[in-house]
Amino acid sequence: MTEEEFLARLPLDLSPQQRAAVCAAGGPVLLLAVPGSGKTTVLVARLGCLIHCRGVSPSEILTVTYTVSAAGDMARRFAALFGDDLARQLSFRTINGLCASIIHTYARRKGSEPFALADSEAQLNAVLRDLLVRTGADYPSEQQIKEARTHITYCKNMMLSEAHIHRHTVEGMDFPAVYFEYQDYLRRSRLMDFDDQMVFALRILRREPEILRHYRTRYRWLCLDEAQDTSKIQHVILALLAGEHRNLFLVGDEDQSVYGFRAAWPQALLRFEEDWPGAKVLLMETNYRSTGAIVSRADAFIRGNRDRRDKHMRTDNLPGEPIRRVVLSDYSRQARYLLQAAKDRTRSTAVLYRNNDSALPLIDLLEREGVPYACRQREGFFFTSPIVRDLTDILTLAYHPEDRERFLRVCWKLDLKIKKALLTGLLTRQRSGETVVEALLAGTGLTPWQVGRVKAFGTHLAKLPQMSSFAALRRIVNYMGYGDYLGEQRMDTNRLDVLLALAVQNPDPAGLLHRLEELRHLLSGGGRTEPVAFVLSTIHASKGLEYDRVLLIDAVEGVFPARRQEDASPQEARQALEEERRLFYVGATRAKHTLELLTYEKKFGEPVQDRFPFVSQLLGEPERSPQSADTPAPQWELDFIPGAAVVHRQFGPGVIQSRTGSIAVIHFDSAGPRRLDLTACRKGRLLRRADEG
């Protein structure tokens, strides 16, 4: 069958660029496909063209995809176009599936038993938790364990030498010690993890010419999807397999490479002609998904990156509505704005974010309101993170002041200025029912100044249950010394902000603790399986998907883009920022018709540094509207949020505990809780913020 006959029979309306890709001949070919350009359709059609037009046997074609689900989807698409019989003869595999096959082929030929695959996440997490403790980490969190695994994956996928691994640093742990002890554990247990599969497979291909020859003969044609997110070791394995026949077809887009933390290696796309002399590079630059307004601005935005090929995304779609910047008056209002968006069920809507934590305040409201939603990626790292664990420990201690173990976990992070060893010694004589403060004051060995610190701590602790959740957390951070600890440790406080947002929505401290536990259990479950119109997702989990309306949230510097690492070199900082820009680009191009970018002017009443670089760049620096999008209320009223310190002309100083509309419950130092109308108080000049002077 000729190419013209094949294309005529194909039930697809292909553009000239798509036709060129479908009919690409053998040899090394790189297809660069912009978002929404139909790359999967083209890749599947090319497989059919190889079989029907070039006489390639289906059994000689290997297509490597990023995930098992993607492999299954591609097989189904091929079967729908060319029939089940041919589909069954093709190989659609993940790289790990291919490597497992290589390892088992080697084991059969050598008559040996391969290492077992350690596919139990719980087992490996337990091993790493033990190793973190043994190498000096106190109370390792699930997030720290995840970071250790991520960096182990990075080292193996980047093929780092032992010398490089010894220099590889991870904050909060002795990473080289953890890495080598982890590898020693796997070796002694005759286990391999998923990354070891690739290490072992590459070693076999390099050392066993017969096995390499076997796979080169079996798979004369190789196709790789999502090439921009393929790691260095994966590219090396595929290059070895394609080395003899050189029939390698890569499909990807370096502008959509967002897995640098997993050692994604988009450099393979940038240096393709250098690695494969005589290679052909094809482009698919038409976006069939998004409106003209979204496509033109996204194309201009991504051109801000240096490490990319010169290509231009375009579309024949109508311009549509302009991209909208939503300027909220305060971060604490973001979840409420999104809740209203969730009630629009006439179109598919996605809330996209950089970090899973960003969704928690919204999930809290959606669950309370009974609004149906789907969350594509559920994890509970927030609840066991050091900041959240510390603050919930201190709040819990306020309700259980006799809890010695909880006190000893956090005491050295607060403003006690007393060595933990001395406190531990004094508490060994704690009597049943005695609070830790009483036990410390009953002992000997504290100086008068230290006694004063303990009494002050006890006073703070006793007041926490009487305050709003927001005010209690602010007291811990601002007046009990925990904020100083965060600064000394240079810890990212984004999770503190999320916890404060949850505190605003759950004003009673005991209720907040209970709600956090409910949310933790909720997120550990499987979530909804039925289709719904409102979806929450990280941008990473949204790749390949599309929605009528997309809301990109937390688009402020320090969250998205993330904070720059202080010890990063200029080149590392640039590369990190370019990956952040690629991630924002991927999120923006999920939108078909409507794209909203959410920012805020204040965070819990405090002005946010006016830095929204990605929003400004995507929009081409338009004039900002001074009017916040979420409320027509006067600016003074927007400042009176839970936790704000106020002064009343009659009742004196107080703190806003909760607020519904203009009605607030304020706890005054002299008069206790009072329910007041903020609008009436302000008009009568009865109430002001404490910082107004």
What's the number of domains the chain is made of? Answer: 5
Select from 491, 509, 542 the last residue of a domain: 491
Q: Confidence class of residue 639 from pLDDT cuts 50, 70 and 90?
A: low
Same domain, 141 and 175: yes
Q: Which of 566, 589, 619 is the last residue of a domain?
A: 619
693 by Cβ neighbours in 10 Å (0-12 / 13-18 / 19+) ranks as exposed
CA–CA separation, 422 and 614 (whole Å): 50
Q: Which residues of 374-480 form beta strands (DSSP E)?
A: 374-375
- What letter does residue 356 receive in the DSSP assignment? G
Q: Which residue has the higher pLDDT, 132 or 444?
A: 132
Q: How far apart are CA 629 and CA 598, in angstroms?
A: 10
Q: Has 462 been labeled as part of a binding site?
A: no
Does the pLDDT at position 162 exceed 80?
yes
Residues 407, 394: Cα–Cα separation, whole Å: 8
CATH number at residue 180: 1.10.10
Mean model confidence pLDDT for the chain: 91
User: Do the annotations mark residue 428 as ligand-binding?
Assistant: no
Domain match, 7 and 135 both: no
User: Is 33 annotated to bind ligand?
Assistant: yes
Residue 29 assigned to a binding site: no
Decide if 599 contacts 553 (C-beta within 8 A): no
Residue 415 lies in a domain: yes
Q: 3-state class of 536 per DSSP? A: strand
Give me the pLDDT at residue 535, please. 96
Question: 3-state class of 655 per DSSP?
Answer: strand
Answer whether residue 407 is part of any domain: yes
Residues 139, 39 within the same domain: no
Domain of 485: which CATH number? 1.10.486.10
Residue with tokens 């247990």: 189
Q: Indicate whether 229 belongs to any domain.
A: yes
| Measured CA angle at 312 (ends 311, 316), to 5 deg | 145
- Is pLDDT at 631 greater than 60 in this prediction? no
| Residue carrying structure tokens 């066991």 | 384
- Asked whether residue 632 carries a pLDDT value surpassing 60, the answer given is no
Domain assignment present for residue 520? The answer is no
Rounded to 5 degrees, what are φ and ψ at 359? -80, -15
Do 85 and 15 share a domain, yes or no? yes
- What does the pLDDT read at residue 13? 94
Amino acid found at 93: R
pLDDT of residue 625: 44
Distance, CA of 273 to CA of 529 (rounded, Å):
44
C-alpha triplet 517, 521, 524: angle, nearest 5°: 140
Q: Which residue has the higher pLDDT, 273 or 525?
A: 273
Specify if 235 maps to a domain. Answer: yes
Is 39 annotated as a binding-site member? Answer: yes
Residues 99 and 15 in one domain: yes
Domain membership of residue 193 (yes or no) is no
On the question of pLDDT at 336 being above 70, the answer is yes
Q: H or E stretch including 105?
A: helix 95-110
Residue 344 has a CB neighbour count (10 Å cut-off) of 12
Q: Are both 241 and 319 inside the same structural domain?
A: no
Do 79 and 209 have their domain in common?
A: yes
Q: Is 40 annotated as a binding-site member?
A: yes
513 vs 332, 382, 510, CA distance in Å?
A: 19, 14, 5
Cα 333 from Cα 361, distance rounded (Å): 10
In a domain, 560, yes or no: yes
Apex CA 434: angle with CA 432 and CA 436, to 5°? 120
pLDDT digits (tens, 9 = 90+) for 491-537: 888 999 999 999 999 999 999 999 999 999 998 876 565 678 999 99
Kindly indicate the confidence band of residue 279, based on its pLDDT and cuts at 50, 70 and 90: very high
CA 644 to chain centre: 31
Tokens at 653, concatenated: 């100083």
Same-domain status, 74 and 213: yes
Same domain flag for 84 and 126: no
Q: What does the alpha-carbon distance between residue 513 and residue 517 come to, in Å, rounded to a whole number?
A: 6
Domain that holds residue 659: 635-692
For position 691, what pLDDT does the model report?
63
Tens digits of residue pLDDT in 650-688: 888 887 776 666 677 788 888 888 888 887 787 778 888
> What is the C-alpha separation between 140 and 142, in angstroms, rounded?
7
What does the angle CA 518 – CA 523 – CA 529 come to, to the nearest 5 degrees? Answer: 120
* Percent residues over pLDDT 90 in the chain: 73
Whether 560 and 583 share a structural domain: yes
CATH code: domain of residue 9? 3.40.50.300
For the segment 641-654, what is each residue's pLDDT rounded down to a tens digit? 666 778 888 888 88
Whether 217 and 93 share a structural domain: yes
Mutual angle of helices 509-524 and 494-505, in 10-degree steps: 110
Mean pLDDT of all residues in 356-380 = 92
- Report CA-CA distances (Å) from 167 to 7, 93, 151, 232, 576: 54, 35, 13, 19, 19
Asked if 454 and 574 sit in the same domain, the reply is no
42-46, 299-303, 451-455, 634-638, range with the lowest pLDDT = 634-638
DSSP 327: E
Report the chain's C-alpha Rg in angstroms.
29
Question: Which of 619, 651, 666 corresponds to the end of one domain?
Answer: 619
Residue 590 contacts by C-beta under 8 Å, 6 or more apart in sequence?
A: 350, 352, 539, 542, 545, 546, 547, 550
Residues in the chain: 693
